[in-house]
Amino acid sequence: DTGVSQDPRHKITKRGQNVTFRCDPISEHNRLYWYRQTLGQGPEFLTYFQNEAQLEKSRLLSDRFSAERPKGSFSTLEIQRTEQGDSAMYLCASSVVGFGFGNEKLFFGSGTQLSVL
């Protein structure tokens, strides 16, 4: 499978615990994005990387959230001291920027469903 893969698919945790999600983008894609989707809503932008640099963070990304993409390949999203309001689907997407600028599509992974009890 050469699409965007995310791990785990589901995560159940207790309030106050830390969780970490992993995203492996499509191999030649230099941009990687994190979005969050709650039931009945569209995805909300959290942050994105171009190669290993984190270039933008939404105000939705509180201090408890941290994302990394250390070698410009896979990325991790960590949530510290989880709260019930963090329960959502966390989506990763990737795209290639550079050729045909403006035509790039975001390719989304299947997401990690987080439930905070």
Residue 25 is a binding residue for other proteins (CB under 8 A): no
User: Interface residues for other proteins in 64-93 (CB under 8 A)?
Assistant: 91, 93
Q: What is the SS3 string spanning 47-65?
A: EEEECCEEEEECCCCCCCE
Judged by CB, which is closer to other proteins: 60, or 117? 60
**Amino acid at residue number 39:** L
Could you give the CA distance from residue 20 to residue 29 in angstroms, rounded to a whole number?
A: 22
At its nearest, how many Å lie between other proteins and the CB of residue 83? 23
At its nearest, how many Å lie between other proteins and the CB of residue 35? 8
Judged by CB, which is closer to other proteins: 19, or 93? 93
| Secondary structure letter of residue 99 according to DSSP | S
Could you give the CA distance from residue 38 to residue 15 in angstroms, rounded to a whole number?
A: 18
Residue 98 is a binding residue for other proteins (CB under 8 A): no
Residue 97 is a binding residue for other proteins (CB under 8 A): yes
From the list 80, 71, 69, the residue with the least C-alpha distance to 20 is 80
Binding site for other proteins (CB under 8 A): 4, 31, 33, 35, 40-45, 48, 55-56, 58, 91, 93, 95, 97, 102-111
